Chains A and B, each alone.
Chain A
């Protein structure tokens, strides 16, 4: 039996999800591929967004995939780290902004 929840080699088998539902699987991959095509945003910009989101949702597969993708595109490690700080700032900010709710509640309850 597999001893860990994640196996890096499973990433290569991502396409297999279509085996059990061909229609939805292929719709998903078609959508996925269209999303990453150059549009108003460049492929490079999209790759950095994907990397930041991957860290936000903490998906090890996506982190692997978009770190590799970034290197292939010539994205530097400094750029990658900056993108992560954007994710970190939004994540931290999302916690802290709820502080206002806490403060409201405290102010309401305290004499």
Chain B
């Protein structure tokens, strides 16, 4: 199990330029596989364009209590990038004036940002329809000061979306670290106890599944059925929806793919599973991602690759709907992760 981020280890893959080079060289340079641009051009879908903003996803910092092997953020306890209250205020100003129906807070572990609770309190007053916090579950059990998070989420009507790679301990701990499974189960039980995830409850609790290795996620509905049955039978746990998310070949997952000599096979698998119907709904077409320092990206993946939005407005303080709507999305070969099979986004399948 990885204990440190790529950044802390001074790995060459901590450098986003190096990642982008890898994604453009080799099999994509010699023509064995088509580039994403050429692939979407086959069906006249190039350039990809942003439609109306529906989801504002804010990454409040890369610090995390976990160091998952597949993490596309390269998050961990050693990451110090944290959004300041000032930047949060700039985000709030935008949230108030956009027509976006969803606000999606992510990280790292967003709860580790010292101003997290203040931000949630303020943002919940704006009256956004769906207010998501991506919580890794173990944070709730990591320290006493987080034990009341379920109650805090409930108070602000937060929609909790949590990661759970498998319904068995073995597979979960292998991807996310020893003890993660037991802590996650306890956190889910705490959430259930106050109404989260219960049938017909308005307190939404969804789970995110992403494969624990170099393979693509199976059918989302079938996996949801298996997860529901196993978690209910074994632990009496309930939840609403399962989002099956494909691991994108960037950051720590790219590092893993290369180290385990799975990189080429994985890229072949992604390209083979390419589904033009998924291209229409890739999340960058209705989402904007804000980094901890307030810069704007087409998605959280582009944020990690340091590929800024192709627009005059580059920072949340310069946000203008007219400048961002209709912009050309910045793409590279990692985008194949969003268009494989039923497609993949932060809300799961898209096609």
Interface residues of A (CB under 8 A from B): 12, 43-44, 68, 71-74, 76
Expressed in whole angstroms, the Cα–Cα distance for A72 and B219 within the complex equals 8
The proximity string for B residues 205-239 relative to A, scoring 1 for CB distances below 8 Å and 0 otherwise, is 00001010101111100110011000000000000
Name the A residues within 8 Å of B168 (CB-CB): 76
Q: Given the complex, which residues of A lie within 8 Å of B121, measured CB to CB? A: none
CB pair B218 A73 closer than 8 Å: yes
Contact status B171-A72, CB under 8 Å: no
- The yes or no answer to B170 lying at the interface (CB within 8 A) is yes
B170 touches A12 (CB 8 A): no
Q: A68: which B residues are within 8 A, CB to CB?
A: 215
What are 25 inter-chain pairs, A to B, with CB distance below 8 A?
A12-B268, A12-B272, A43-B219, A44-B222, A44-B226, A68-B215, A71-B211, A71-B213, A72-B211, A72-B215, A72-B216, A72-B217, A72-B218, A73-B218, A73-B219, A73-B223, A73-B226, A74-B166, A74-B167, A74-B218, A74-B223, A74-B226, A74-B227, A76-B168, A76-B170
Across the interface, B222 reaches (CB within 8 A) one of A12, A73, A76, namely A73
CA distance A72 to B217 in the complex (A): 5
- For chain B, the bracket of interface size reads 10 to 19
Asked if residues B268 and A43 are in contact (CB atoms below 8 Å), the reply is no
Please report B residues at the A interface, Cβ cutoff 8 Å.
166-168, 170-171, 209, 211, 213, 215-219, 222-223, 226-227, 268, 272
Instruction: Tell whether, in the assembled complex, residue B215 and residue A76 are in contact, meaning their CB atoms are under 8 Å apart.
Output: no
Q: What chain B residues lie within 8 Å of A43 (beta carbons)?
A: 219, 222
A71-B215, A74-B218 are known contacts; what are 8 more A-B pairs with Cβ within 8 Å? A12-B268, A43-B222, A71-B213, A73-B222, A74-B209, A74-B223, A74-B226, A76-B168
Q: Give bound CA distance, A44 to B170, whole Å.
A: 20
A39 to B223, CA, bound (A): 17
Q: Which residue of B lies closest to A47 (CB)?
A: B218
Nearest chain A CB to B272 CB, angstrom units:
7
The chain A residue with its CB closest to the CB of B216 is A72
Alpha-carbon gap, A43 to B215, bound state (A):
18
Complex Cα spacing A71 to B165, Å: 12
Complex: A68 Cα to B273 Cα, angstroms: 14
Once the chains are docked, how many angstroms separate the CA of A98 from the CA of B223?
Answer: 42
A77 to B88: give the CA distance in the assembly, Å: 45
> Which chain A positions have C-beta within 8 A of B226?
44, 73-74
Whole-angstrom CA separation of A24 from B301 in the bound complex? 44
Q: Smallest CB-CB separation from B213: which chain A residue?
A: A71
CA distance A73 to B215 in the complex (A): 10
Question: What residues on B are CB-neighbors of A76 within 8 Å?
Answer: 166, 168, 170-171
CA distance A72 to B223 in the complex (A): 9
Shortest Cβ-Cβ A-B pairs, 7 listed? A72-B218, A73-B218, A71-B215, A72-B215, A68-B215, A74-B223, A74-B226
A73 to chain B: which residues have CB within 8 Å?
218-219, 222-223, 226
**A74 contact set on B, CB distance < 8 A:** 166-167, 209, 218, 223, 226-227
In whole Å, how far is B291's beta carbon from the nearest beta carbon of chain A? 32
Give the distance in Å from the alpha carbon of A72 to the alpha carbon of B269 in the complex: 12
Neighbouring A residues of B218 by C-beta, 8 Å = 72-74
Contacts of B268 in A (CB 8 A): 12
